[in-house]
Amino acid sequence: MSLLEVAAVLVSFVAIWLTAARRMLCWPINLLACALYFKLFLDVRLYADMVLQALFGIAIGYGWIAWAAGKDAAGAVIVRPLSPLVAAAGLATGAVGGIGIGWITSRYTDAALPWMDAALSSFSLVAQYWTARRHSASWLLWIVVDVLYVGMFVFKGLLPTAGLYAAMVGLAVLGFIRWRNAQRASGAESRAEPARGDSHA
């Protein structure tokens, strides 16, 4: 356990909690967490996850802009449903990306766990994109990915990071519940609008 890993764990935990709460502050905190984990994964030769942090940085910029433009009149970030077609396309993209990244890292690098690392990295990008697009289903994918990450980090001896990802499973469950409730509330309000309008007609 290093000071770098401890710092990355603490910053990441705060970032995920803020994301689950739909707070805009989550984006700069997430960016700092990415920078810390980029260096950590470089040190332990998890190259796909190292590159993932750089890609997360790009996705964070996109999410920051998308969330800023996706607020309701009260300033709350609006949660959007995920269609089955978009969900299927995202999962297919994650699978293809995992195979491609795994082939490259297993063939051209000394990556410690190339295929698992690649698959989790690829599906993490899909989950991050869904988060940026404000889909509550993103948390379901995060739950699956984070559970598998716990096992990988235990195997690599990164126990604080494994503990972080175990806690992130709980945060993902909380995030899904909060976002689903917000989505339902938003849908109920939008359905109620015509009724209120009709009553004054």
CA atoms lying within 13 Å on the CB side of residue 182: 21
Give the pLDDT confidence score for residue 193 in this predicted structure.
46
For CA atoms 4, 160, 114, 141, the dihedral sign is negative
Provide the phi-psi class of 76: left if phi over 0, else alpha when psi is between -120 and 50, else beta. Answer: beta
Question: For the stretch 127-151, what's the b/e string if a residue is b when 16 or more beta carbons lie within 10 angstroms of its beta carbon?
Answer: bbbbbbbbbbbbbbbbbebbeebbe
pLDDT at residue 190 tops 60? no
Q: What percent of the chain has pLDDT over 90?
A: 43
**Assessment of whether the complete model's pTM goes beyond 0.75:** yes
For 53-94, the pLDDT digits (tens) are: 888 889 899 988 988 887 777 777 888 889 999 999 999 999
Give the pLDDT confidence score for residue 113 in this predicted structure.
83
Tokens of 180: 């689903």
* Alpha-helix residue ranges (DSSP H) falling in the chain: 3-20, 26-43, 47-69, 84-108, 114-132, 138-155, 159-199
Do 101 and 110 contact (CB within 8 A), yes or no?
A: no
**Mean pLDDT value across residues 94-102:** 94
Give the pLDDT confidence score for residue 197 in this predicted structure.
45
Q: What percent of the chain has pLDDT over 70?
A: 92
**Mean pLDDT value across residues 160-181:** 90
Q: Token pair 């709350």 is at which residue?
A: 76
Residue 79 CB neighbour total at 10 angstroms: 23
Cα 109 to Cα 106: distance, rounded to the nearest angstrom: 6
Burial class of residue 3 (count of CB atoms within 10 Å of its CB; 0-12, 13-18, 19+):
exposed
Where does the pLDDT of residue 108 fall: very low under 50, low under 70, confident under 90, or very high at 90 and above? confident
pLDDT, mean over the chain: 86
